[in-house]
Amino acid sequence: MSWDFETDPAYQRELDWVDQFVREEVEPVDMVIDHAWDLGDPVRQALIPPLQEQVRARGLWATNLGPHLGGAGYGQVKLALLNEILGRSHSAPIVFGCQAPDSGNAEILARYGTDELKRRYLEPLLRNDIVSAYSMTEPAGGSDPTGFVTRAELDGGEWVINGEKWFTSHANFASFLVLLAVTDPEVERHRRLSMFIVPVDTPGVEILRNVGVYGHPEDKGTHSYIRYTDVRIPADHLLGGRGDGFVVAQTRLGGGRIHHAMRTVGLVKQALVMMCERALSRTTQGETLARKQLVQAMIADSWIQLEQFRLLVLRTAWRIDEYDDYERVRGDISAVKAAMPKVLHDVASRAVQIHGSLGVSHEMPFASMVLESFHMGLADGATEVHQIALARQLLKDHRPAEGLFPSGHLLARREAARERFADVLAAAGG
Ligand SMILES: Cc1cc2nc3c(=O)[nH]c(=O)nc-3n(C[C@H](O)[C@H](O)[C@H](O)COP(=O)(O)OP(=O)(O)OC[C@H]3O[C@@H](n4cnc5c(N)ncnc54)[C@H](O)[C@@H]3O)c2cc1C
């Protein structure tokens, strides 16, 4: 038997250190900086790099990456347990060097970049001397990449890019963009796109505006609407082969999705902990909220949803480690991705309700967690798209019934059983 739900004691000691470090050193930083990815913010630059040094000294820097990239190569299960802690803080992922979208972009660069691209972009990215962005979604729609129109054409040994991208998170802080563009419009739909590195300071890259999400200050948006006009980049800035855009994208999106889910477990846990504290602290009709059965049901349902989701995330992480092949776990990742927004939404909403008027106010984090659940249902693909992907994969293992009635039709099964056990039934007088 190999089922095991224990954490190795040595690693648990590391997790305990992380838990305390995040609570005492990182969470207070969240309260005084606007955006941990903003390398131009002097407050951020004064507070975050010293914390990153402590993480490096502890050997916990970028543990998602293999030793060849300066990480510990802990694998996804250990990363899941770590991310459960980091997920409750805005700054913690960048303090530990495993933040999106840089971790996924680093994977792409490590796997597909030339030595020169790695020297120029990957090395400073891994040190968090720079940050990056991922430019895929287009203003006319993100759910169907086969409909993208941003073009990259070869001209005199350079790629020339024209088009627009929408909701490129952190482009306003980034040094380079990982861009998906159409190179071969006439071929089969899934071979039309290719992936590129585009330095942000290349002439023709224009951020039209930085879109803010609801609940955040309107003038501090971080999801860029970008126009690319005759942007010329060297031929070697193509990542992977021409037409490999979908394959390369899966390299980063698979990992990115499961990492979001790991962090979401942390956020949901935090909502549940706060919900329990409030239920035990607030009194009405002479007793605490914790003694009201309807409140107890909310707490129990939240724990059940959280633990179901957590187990799905950990099992998927385990399968990624086991197979080392994202293709084999695509369905698992889609399942996790589709489950994630609902768990966060439901638990955060109950936390709002149990906190009453305080719960909807700016003074507690729950309303923004509820909104965050909608982000989770869109970023890296809409929930419906993942439900469809999962269902299609599941259906591949099934066949239509041979006759008019389903193979589980009770009448037919009963008849077959009667025939099989006719002797026994006859002997028993049945
Ligand atoms: C917080 C956040 C960060 C993001 N960061 C990035 C980023 O860094 N880089 C980037 O490129 N993009 C980013 N995105 C964009 C994200 O990838 C897109 O929002 C997503 O792919 C959906 O595309 P869309 O918004 O254009 O919605 P649309 O494609 O217009 O879809 C709208 C809705 O239609 C429904 N729908 C779509 N397809 C189907 C279907 N097949 N069946 C049934 N219903 C369907 C779904 O309800 C979907 O939400 C981010 C989004 C968010 C919210």
Contacts of residue 221, defined as CB under 8 A and 6 or more positions apart, other chains included, come to 172, 209, 210, 211, 212, 213
- Interior/surface letters 2-25, b for 16+ CB within 10 angstroms, e for the rest: eeeeeeeeeeeebbeebeebbeeb
- Residue 383 in this model has a pLDDT that exceeds 90: yes
User: For residue 209, what are the CA distances in angstroms to 129, 379, 405?
Assistant: 24, 19, 58
Token pair, residue 152, equals 């990259």
Q: How far apart are the first and last CA of the chain?
A: 43
Mutational pocket test of ligand 1: of 99, 132, 143, the residue with most ligand atoms within 8 Å of the beta carbon: 143
Give the per-residue pLDDT at 109. 93
- Pick the atom of ligand 1 nearest to 139's CA: 26
Beta bridge partners of 162: 151
Percent helix, strand, coil in the chain, to 5, is 55, 15, 30
State how far the Cα of 72 lies from the Cα of 426, in Å rounded to an integer: 69
Token pair, residue 358, equals 């305080």
Per-residue pLDDT tens over the stretch 263-321: 999 999 999 999 999 999 999 999 999 999 999 999 999 999 999 999 999 999 999 99
Token pair, residue 405, equals 């009635």
Token pair, residue 419, equals 């025939």
Ligand 1 centre distance from Cα of residue 218 (Å): 21
At residue 265's C-alpha, the angle toward residues 264 and 268, to 5°, is 85
The burial class, CB within 10 Å (0-12 / 13-18 / 19+), for 357 is exposed
DSSP-based three-state secondary structure for 192: coil
In the numeric block, the tokens 């190569």 are attached to 73
Mutational pocket test of ligand 1: of 105, 146, 166, 167, the residue with most ligand atoms within 8 Å of the beta carbon: 167
In the numeric block, the tokens 């040994």 are attached to 157
Ligand 1 centre distance from Cα of residue 142 (Å): 5
Contacts of residue 5, defined as CB under 8 A and 6 or more positions apart, other chains included, come to none
State how far the Cα of 265 lies from the Cα of 254, in Å rounded to an integer: 17
- Amino acid present at 143: S
Instruction: Report whether residue 381 contacts ligand 1, using a CB cutoff of 6 Å.
Output: yes
Question: Please, which pLDDT band fits residue 430 given cuts at 50, 70 and 90?
Answer: low
Contact 124, 154 (CB under 8 A): no
Per-residue pLDDT tens over the stretch 20-63: 999 999 999 999 999 999 999 999 999 999 999 999 999 999 99
- Residue 358 in this model has a pLDDT that exceeds 90: yes
- Amino acid present at 180: L
Pick from 77, 103, 102, 106: nearest CA to 324: 77
- Residue 323 in this model has a pLDDT that exceeds 70: yes
Give the per-residue pLDDT at 1. 74
The average confidence (pLDDT) of the chain is 95
Q: Report CA dihedral (20, 21, 22, 25) to the nearest 10 degrees.
A: 120
Token pair, residue 249, equals 């994208």
State how far the Cα of 45 lies from the Cα of 35, in Å rounded to an integer: 11
Protein residue whose Cα sits closest to atom 37 of ligand 1: 143
At residue 227's C-alpha, the angle toward residues 137 and 208, to 5°, is 100
The burial class, CB within 10 Å (0-12 / 13-18 / 19+), for 118 is middle
User: For residue 99, what are the CA distances in angstroms to 96, 143, 154, 166?
Assistant: 8, 23, 33, 21
Helical residues (DSSP H) of 282-409, grouped into ranges? 293-323, 330-354, 356-360, 366-376, 383-395
- Pick the atom of ligand 1 nearest to 137's CA: 11
Task: Indicate left, alpha or beta for 266 from its phi (over 0: left) and psi (-120 to 50: alpha).
Answer: alpha
Ligand 1 centre distance from Cα of residue 299 (Å): 31
- Average the pLDDT over 211-223 and give the result: 89
Ligand 1 centre distance from Cα of residue 143 (Å): 5
Per-residue pLDDT tens over the stretch 76-96: 999 999 999 999 999 999 999
User: For residue 279, what are the CA distances in angstroms to 265, 303, 366?
Assistant: 21, 14, 15
Question: Please, which pLDDT band fits residue 251 given cuts at 50, 70 and 90?
Answer: confident
Instruction: Report whether residue 169 contacts ligand 1, using a CB cutoff of 6 Å.
Output: yes
Protein residue whose Cα sits closest to atom 33 of ligand 1: 382
Question: Please, which pLDDT band fits residue 341 given cuts at 50, 70 and 90?
Answer: very high
The burial class, CB within 10 Å (0-12 / 13-18 / 19+), for 164 is middle
Per-residue pLDDT tens over the stretch 175-203: 999 999 999 999 999 999 999 999 999 99
